[in-house]
A = this chain, B = another copy of it.
Amino acid sequence: MKPDQQETKNFKFELVHMDRHCRARAGVLHTPHGSIETPVFMPVATHGAIKALQPKELKDLSFQVLLSNTYHLHLSPGAELIAKAGGLHKFMGWDRAILTDSGGFQVFSLQKNSITDEGANFKGPDGENIFLSPEKSIEIQQLLGSDIMMAFDECIPFPTTEGYVQKSLKRTHSWLKRCVEAWTNKNQALFGIVQGGTYKKYRKLSIDAVTDFKLPGYAIGGVSIGEGKELIREVVEYTAPLLPEDKPRYLMGVGMPEDLFMLWENGVDMSDCTIPTKFGRNGTLFTNRGKIRIDHKSYRRDFFPIEPNLKDYVNSTFTRAYLKHLFDSNEMLGQILATAHNLAFYKSLAVRAREAILEDRFLDFKRDFLAGYRQ
């Protein structure tokens, strides 16, 4: 049994309510940069910038936390430079909470030279060698000064043989130990990541090993890598309830509105995804009646808001016809407003889900929303 890592300063998860009819939870995550109401959806600022939106706009939309990427910031402009600028919050003009990933996902998703027990070697965009290890990842994240750091893990592809899962888990768990040892700034919280592929027994094994470190939070890693929605659901349904009830649960890189309901129903508190921002830039907008392609000719004379039930700036100011016009004219403002709308939509989903959980009617909310959304 490892010592409890609860000495983390200014960081505390408060479980406010569990829905009586399912596993959905409402909570508050206190961080050195403000509180985060859960369930929470986190927008992604890969390079220390939400694509197309200014930090003040994220505040106007009431976002309390965003995600940024260790690997990308390490490459450019470099963590030392950001530390010199006063840390990532100051550098990017965002004084609310930041979660940084560890680079572990890039071990999976980018071209790499080799992965050993020591760490992972990448080919950088200019052919240069990039080395990440548990120690290096934590060093970078501590230089960035994020509120929540993620452990450096190996995200394995799907499908994977049992043999490799076993070998990789051993590595991920020993890397977690090294992360914990490298973690010196207790103003930053460290989350452990559970791996194990689609094998229940290895998920269980990983949960036991990872939670043994008594960390401030836990993530379910290695999902949404091509295994399909049914297998994601299976892993989440099995894994989430086995995580400690009094710690926040985070699932990385998922997804569409319907996916969020699945996560929340199973007691996941935090998630992130590039979908709302990426889809927005492409002209795909989320509404209570499903997704729409705003450049479709049917919106030419549609003088209604994108989503009449949203009261944010975009929906109280602009029409579908105007957004279609902006996309038709290749105006950057189209991508900006579409991004702001999609994030407003995702934010409102999380807010409405939380309200429903607090009133024990999450399943009703989910049913009603999906009935309208899937029309």
Interface residues of A (CB under 8 A from B): 47-56, 72, 76-77, 81, 84-86, 91-93, 300-301, 303, 313, 317-319, 321-322, 324-326, 328-329, 331-337
Contact = CB atoms under 8 A, between A and B. Distances in A.
B77 A317 contact: no
Given A56-B313, A91-B322, A322-B92, A50 B81 contact: no
B331 A49 contact: yes
B313 A47 contact: no
5 contacts: A49-B329, A51-B331, A54-B333, A55-B317, A93-B318
Contacts of A303: 84-86
Contacts of A50: 333
B49 A317 contact: no
Count of chain copies = 2
B52 A322 contact: no
A93 B318 CA distance: 6
Given A85-B303, A319-B91, A52 B325 contact: no
A81 B332 CA distance: 21
Contacts of A48: 322, 325
B84 A301 contact: yes
Nearest to A317: B93
A51 B332 contact: yes
Given A84-B301, A332-B332, A321 B49 contact: no
Nearest to A335: B332
Given A56-B313, A313-B56, A332-B332, A321 B51 contact: no
A300 B77 contact: yes
